[in-house]
Amino acid sequence: MIVASFWFWDRPDWGWAEVWALAILLIPSFALTVNGQRFFLALINGTDNRWSTSKASVVLWTYGVLFAFVTILLHTRGHGLDDLKLSNQYLLLLGIPTAAAVSAKAITQNKKAKDPNYKPPAQGAPPDALKGTGQLFTNDSGNADLLDSQYFLFSLLLLGYFLTQFLSAESTTLPNLPDTLVGLTGVTAVGYTAKKGVVNKA
């Protein structure tokens, strides 16, 4: 046990730091359950038993940035974040999906207050992973939705770029992100939120 502790804290290389960071984040997230759901899936499931596009974007970006931070902490034995500064890009990327999720929830609650049948109470079991993923690209009626799809796909593309750059750079500095993708993510978030305010069910 003591030998393992010394080995673990003897500044693990990036590969092992990434493995441990992934385990630290994912094992509890899928081992713990909330109301019969895995904790990670419960975070993105709405009160209507549908996976929420806005919640999914927030959760994925939160886990992505946490993964980077935990990897840096493990590799540097707790000192890698001492001088790390988040650029305005990351403040936007964490703020944009959060603002979209909060705005979407506020709009939905306002519509439910005016019309209790706007979103009926959840029925049945939560969706499985395949069905839930499909719901990220559809509206409440189950129809494919362009603005939901745009918002989630651009968020996913930018997150993929972030993770690819971070994993390949092996640096305690978070990668710079393309302004074009950051801008597109912001624009599609605005479109997604605006749609919530004008469509009866979306």
Joined together, the tokens standing for residue 19 give 């493995």
Closest Cα partner for 67 from 159, 182, 181, 153? Answer: 159
pLDDT tens profile 72-101: 888 887 777 777 777 777 877 777 777 777
Between 88-114 and 146-169, two packed helices, what is the crossing angle to 10 degrees? 150
- In the block, which residue shows the tokens 């978030």? 189
Task: Judge whether 177 and 185 are in contact, CB under 8 Å.
Answer: no
pTM: 0.80
- H helix runs in 76-178, sequence order: 88-114, 129-135, 146-169
Q: pLDDT tens digits, residue range 17-38?
A: 899 999 999 999 999 988 888 8
The partner residues of 38 in beta bridges, in order of sequence, read 33
Looking at 3-12, 18-27, 98-107, 188-197, which range is the least confident one? 3-12
Nearest Cα to Cα of residue 139 among 104, 176, 92: 104
Find the distance separating the first CA and the last CA of the chain, reported in whole Å.
54
- How far is Cα 100 from Cα 96, in angstroms, rounded to an integer? 6
Please say whether the beta carbons of 189 and 151 come within 8 A: yes
Give residue 37's pLDDT.
85
CB-CB contact of 132 with 37 (8 Å)? no
Residues 137 and 54: beta-carbon distance below 8 Å: no
The reported pLDDT for the residue numbered 20 is: 92
DSSP string, 66-84: HHHHHHHHHHTTT-TTSS-
- In DSSP notation, 155-168 reads HHHHHHHHHHHHHH
Residue whose tokens read 């990327």? 93
With beta carbons less than 8 A apart as the criterion, state whether 187 and 180 touch: no
